[in-house]
Structure 1
Amino acid sequence: MRTGLKFGPLGEDAAHLCVDMQNLFAPGSPWGAPWVARRLPAVTRLASARPGRSFFTRFIPPRSLTGAPGSWGRYYAAWPEILRETLSPDWLRLLPELEALAPAGHVFDKSVYSPWSQSGLHAALRDKGVTTLVVSGSETDICVLATVLGAVDRGYRVIVAVDAVCSSSDETHDAVLGLFAGRMGQQIEVATTDQVLAEWRVAS
């Protein structure tokens, strides 16, 4: 897969959006993705390089099955240990390395895969003049996918940092990155963290 910023360097209108890099998805959790720990250094580099321009989402399960509508009820019936009535709140926190870098007001909670319909994220980004998003996080084929497609729908320029996203499934991770780079290549760019940071211009 060819990577790079084919539509030019990034500027002051760009921000880093980190998707669901929480204890809930780290190894040791029932929902743990093995690659989270391996991708964390790249995510941390993005967040620390542009701390005031980094935004974070967190996936928050319902308190009980009564708060899980429709097919979500069936979903959480298979994962009762994830419901907040039994889950320790610490599992919902960002990974410690990222929690330390998250600016106040830059963490947005959601109860579904996409962060665009209920979190206030879009309004906050627009308020900061953001029109370009560098996306990192987990999981590539679920919440990252929903985040990226929603960003495209809202007209953002979207760059997926390929070495800063991960999934529990190598097969679908690879398939989604291929979709981004190929079929959706006019609206989504794929680049490495090094490529992003080398081409992100900021005012001195």
Structure 2
Amino acid sequence: MPDMPAGLRDAVPSNAVHLCVDMQRMFAEDTPWRTPWMQRVAPVVASICDHRPDRTVFTRFIPPSDPDEARGAWRPYWMRWNALTLGELGADYVELMPELSRFAPPAVVFDKRVYSPWWDGRLHQSLQARAVEALIVTGCEIDVCVLATVLGAVDLGYRVIIAADALCSSADPDHDAALQLYSERFGMQIETVSTADILAAWAP
């Protein structure tokens, strides 16, 4: 694993939001998209949720009912992954992992049909209404939906804090490469630190 920068640049502001990406049953359980690391990082993610449940936002990736419901390049994608559509998999699998669902409410849940949670503007609008300037990012998968979340947050001007030990991927090399990308290529705009550092610097 790449070396992580030592510590945060500044204290975590009290009005920061923990943005937890796609920690859902469809990625945690026995499906073609199972991510083995999820069970390992879930308690770490839960520790951040437990610290400030009222400042936690979950995203959920919602498949179409069938491939014909998808648009453009998403249609052949869902033809390939038809087993993961709602019609085949079942709606229960898009729910949050049980160890995290207990935090909502007060945590808020935003659903999305694509990798990025920013595509329709609802999440950004909600965060701006709460005067949020900093995001603590956790979740699945670090090299797909987390990547889209992080880069969108950077584009929108948020201070982005990555909890390095609260992220997972289904491919170890891609996981390590993504951490290195965040800490080196985007090191000016993304802080990649441990959950312990975050909790110590974020007042409950």
What TM-score do you get using the length of structure 2 for normalisation? 0.95
Q: 1:112 aligns with which of 89, 114, 125?
A: 114
In structure 2, what is the equivalent of residue 172 of structure 1? 174
Return the offset for 1:25.
0.5
In 2: Cα distance, 1:60 partner to 1:4 partner: 36
Return the offset for 1:104.
5.0
**C-alpha RMSD over aligned residues:** 1.3
In 2: Cα distance, 1:119 partner to 1:83 partner: 24
CA contact (8 A) 1:110 1:119 kept: no
In 2: Cα distance, 1:22 partner to 1:131 partner: 26
In structure 2, what is the equivalent of residue 79 of structure 1? 81
In structure 1, what is the equivalent of residue 162 of structure 2? 160
Partner SS state of residue 85, structure 1: helix
CA contact (8 A) 1:9 1:201 kept: no
Alignment of 1:121-132 (within 5 A): 121-132=123-134
In structure 1, what is the equivalent of residue 12 of structure 2? 10
In 2: Cα distance, 1:178 partner to 1:118 partner: 29
CA contact (8 A) 2:133 2:159 kept: yes
Q: Relative to structure 2, which stretch is displaced further, 78-87 or 154-163?
A: 78-87
In structure 1, what is the equivalent of residue 53 of structure 2? 51
In 2: Cα distance, 1:119 partner to 1:36 partner: 28
CA contact (8 A) 1:159 1:191 kept: yes
What TM-score do you get using the length of structure 1 for normalisation? 0.95
Aligned residues: 202
Return the offset for 1:56.
0.4
In structure 2, what is the equivalent of residue 24 of structure 1? 26
In 1: Cα distance, 2:107 partner to 2:192 partner: 28
Any gaps of 5 or more consecutive residues in structure 1?
none
Q: 1:137 aligns with which of 113, 136, 139?
A: 139
In structure 2, what is the equivalent of residue 93 of structure 1? 95
What letter is aligned with 2:191?
Answer: E
Return the offset for 1:103.
2.2
What letter is aligned with 1:163?
Answer: D
In structure 2, what is the equivalent of residue 36 of structure 1? 38
Q: Which has the higher helix share?
A: 2
1:136-192 CA-to-partner distances (Å, cap 9, x unmatched) read 000000000000000000000001101000000111111111011001100000011
Partner SS state of residue 123, structure 1: helix
CA contact (8 A) 1:108 1:119 kept: no
- Structure 1 residues 176 and 74: alpha-carbon distance in aligned structure 2, compared to 1, 3 A threshold: same
What letter is aligned with 1:62?
Answer: P
What letter is aligned with 2:150?
Answer: V
CA contact (8 A) 1:4 1:189 kept: no
Structure 1 segments of 4+ aligned residues over 3 angstroms from their partners = 3-6
Q: Relative to structure 2, which stretch is displaced further, 50-59 or 7-16?
A: 7-16
CA contact (8 A) 1:161 1:192 kept: yes
In 2: Cα distance, 1:62 partner to 1:119 partner: 20
